[in-house]
Amino acid sequence: MASDVNRKLSLGVKLALLIAVLTIGGVSVFGITVLNKQNQLQDEQLQDLGGALVAQVASAATEPLFTGDNMSLQLQVEQSTHQGKIKAIEIVSSDGTIVVSAGDHEALLRAASSGSMYYFVTDVVFRQISGGRVALLLDHNEMAKTYKHLLKLILGVGAGLSVLAVIGALLIGRRINKPFAELLYAAKQVGSGNYKSAVVEEDRRQDEVGQLLHAISDMGQGLYQKEQVEAMLAGFVNQDIAKRVIAEAEEIRIKGERVEATVLFADIVGFTSMSEGLTPEQVADLLNEYFSYFTHCSDLYFGTVDKFIGDCAMVVFGAPKPNADHQFQALACAVLMQKLTKVLNRRREACQLPAVSLRIGINSGPMLAGVLGSEKKMEYTVVGDSVNLASRLCGEAEGGQIIITEDFERALERPERAMLSYYKKINIRGKSLPVQTYVVDDVISEYKLTMDSLIDDLMTSKTSLT
């Protein structure tokens, strides 16, 4: 009986049933997987958040707890509970006496006795002496709201997709009744990597199968182009450069483009003599650490690391992505690099490692931006007299200095943002007159505060020196 019913069903109905079952099953599996993953991620985030908050409170409570400043402790715990993430908090002395508390204390006790995953506790330690402990209870209401919202969203999307799948399958299945030899051939060509062979003649078929054939043909052509693009972009790292080359690959590769940009050269002073006492692995670790920080600095000020040359970094501002304030962005990036280097040096000295001195040269002007190299290896870079002058300025700078030209100072928008001082005139080969240079001492206080915050963020996001 079931066999007779199966034979009476049309291809469209069979396809509709099959797609409906697969879609509903797939959506169900997907929804369950997403929900389970969301639960797992929430648990992990909860542990990270709770651990970070209790550690933060313990750190801030160290001094007032050991000095007996209960008023400061009370103010601190009350402020913590007002943030919306902490439901209750208490600080207990080493003898078990509650010093201060805030929030729902009864809920905190219940969580402690039941071993709730929202309950976190840590000791307050100063110089290996425990002065007590901090316990807090997270408010899980917001996390529960997020989970319920996601559940409703998945159910709604799943129901909608199922309905659309059934309707679409019925419409398509009624018209598909011809052999799929051409479709199978084209699919096999794509599967075997013969993307060009998957391209079909235009207008050979106008029905649904023909449209699908042309879709596979377009996919094969797209995959073939993707292979070419991937091969061309093998030498690129920066995302802006990659997008630019994809969009205008032929124009950039053949003739490049003239741009108004700024180039920064940062060089480690005395690196050769410093590396003589280091192993190759230590040299690599040193360069990797500083280049990593320099890359973060350039990203913060919209720069693009062009290349690393030995112990020197070359950063471009205003290309490939235009930036009207590229001169100051480069100057601010250089100041941030020098400030960051001083902070790193203090950390290195604490670890009995040699300090690093950085010299920087900056120049802006017209230059050619484009792709140089061979078919097997290419790189996007900038070339021109302005680039050469920036490199020469870097060589003229002393450790800890940032050197710019007088022309660069004149090109700055709102030059009052930078603190500059006259340096010296230098003779440049190929130029008839000496070039007046300036030393960048710092930026004004408005930007100093921002830099201090950026340095704190960078230092906390990196692992300490070993």
**Percent of the chain having pLDDT more than 90?**
29
Q: What is the pLDDT of residue 441?
A: 95
Alpha carbon 301 to its chain centroid, in Å, reads 14
Please list the residues that pair with 422 across neighbouring strands.
438
Of the two residues 437 and 188, the one the predictor is more confident about is 437
CA distances from 292 to 114, 235, 463 (A): 45, 19, 12
Please list the residues that pair with 308 across neighbouring strands.
313
Non-local CB neighbours of 410 within 8 Å, separated by 6+ positions: none
The answer to whether residue 157 scores a pLDDT higher than 70 is: yes
Per-residue pLDDT reduced to its tens digit, 331-358:
999 999 999 999 999 998 888 888 899 9
Provide the mean pLDDT of the chain: 80
Length of the chain: 466
Task: Find which of 4-18, 94-108, 109-123, 324-338 is predicted with most confidence, using mean pLDDT.
Answer: 324-338
CA 217 – CA 120 distance, rounded (Å): 58
Per-residue pLDDT reduced to its tens digit, 57-69:
888 888 887 877 8
Residue 354, phi then psi, degrees to nearest 5: -65, 145
Sign for the CA dihedral angle at 385, 386, 391, 396 comes to: positive
Tell me what the mean pLDDT of segment 174-185 comes to: 58
Tell me what the mean pLDDT of segment 434-441 comes to: 94
CB 420 within 8 A of CB 403: no
Please list the residues that pair with 435 across neighbouring strands.
426
Q: Which residue has the tokens 């741009």?
A: 259
Task: Find which of 27-36, 133-142, 349-358 is predicted with most confidence, using mean pLDDT.
Answer: 349-358
Of the two residues 151 and 344, the one the predictor is more confident about is 344
Q: What is the pLDDT of residue 179?
A: 46
Per-residue pLDDT reduced to its tens digit, 381-428:
899 999 999 999 999 999 999 999 999 999 998 889 999 999 999 988
Q: What is the pLDDT of residue 106?
A: 80
Q: What is the pLDDT of residue 396?
A: 92
* Confidence label for 183 from pLDDT (cuts 50, 70 and 90): low
Q: What is the pLDDT of residue 296?
A: 93
Q: What is the pLDDT of residue 235?
A: 46
* Confidence label for 303 from pLDDT (cuts 50, 70 and 90): very high
Least Cα distance to 86 among 70, 71, 103, 72 occurs for 103
Tell me what the mean pLDDT of segment 239-265 comes to: 70
The answer to whether residue 46 scores a pLDDT higher than 70 is: yes
Q: What is the pLDDT of residue 352?
A: 86
**What CATH code is assigned to 239-461?**
3.30.70.1230
Superfamily for domain range 1-177: PAS domain (3.30.450.20)
Q: What is the pLDDT of residue 398?
A: 94
pTM above 0.75, yes or no: no
Task: Find which of 274-278, 297-301, 350-354 is predicted with most confidence, using mean pLDDT.
Answer: 297-301
